[in-house]
Amino acid sequence: MAELLRATRVPLGLVTNGERFTLVYAEPDQPTGFADFRAELWFDERLTLRAFRDFLSAGALFNRPPEQTLDALYRRSLENQQEVSKTLGRQVRRAVEMFVSALDRADSESGRALSAGPRWRAHL
């Protein structure tokens, strides 16, 4: 579906096998976005059914301000994804720094026993 959408320059498509519905968003030179809906959950999770209906309603597709269309939501999602990735990268780097610092402190307090490692004697 993503290849078809990119080739036809129609960004939004729906794929289903009758049980699972996948809303696909694909533009040239952009990552593909997916929203999955499982019909089996619709009886128990009415909110999921309403979300599916709202995604595909005529009003959602044709009668929304430009900043509230699925296109705009997808693009905003891409921007947020990049920011989340940057933030996560900074947090991971800081966590590794803290871990290495704690290991160094523990090694120092043990008289460098941790960094000495096991001593192996060669037997000939």
Query: What pLDDT tens digit does each residue of the chain (124 aa) get?
Result: 999 999 999 988 999 999 999 989 998 888 898 888 889 988 888 888 888 888 788 777 778 888 887 778 877 887 777 787 888 888 998 999 998 898 888 888 888 877 776 655 555 4
Decide if 21 is inside a domain: yes
Give the range of the structural domain holding residue 49, as residue numbers without chain letter.
1-63
19 CB-side CA count, 13 A: 1
Residue 58 sits in the same domain as residue 80: no
Residue 1 in contact with residue 15, Cβ under 8 Å? yes
Three-class DSSP category at 14: strand
On whether both 17 and 56 belong to a single domain, the answer is yes
Based on the domain organization, do 59 and 2 belong to the same domain? yes
Rounded to the nearest 5 percent, the helix, strand and coil shares of the chain are 60, 15, 25
Structural contact between residues 23 and 34, judged by C-beta atoms closer than 8 angstroms: yes
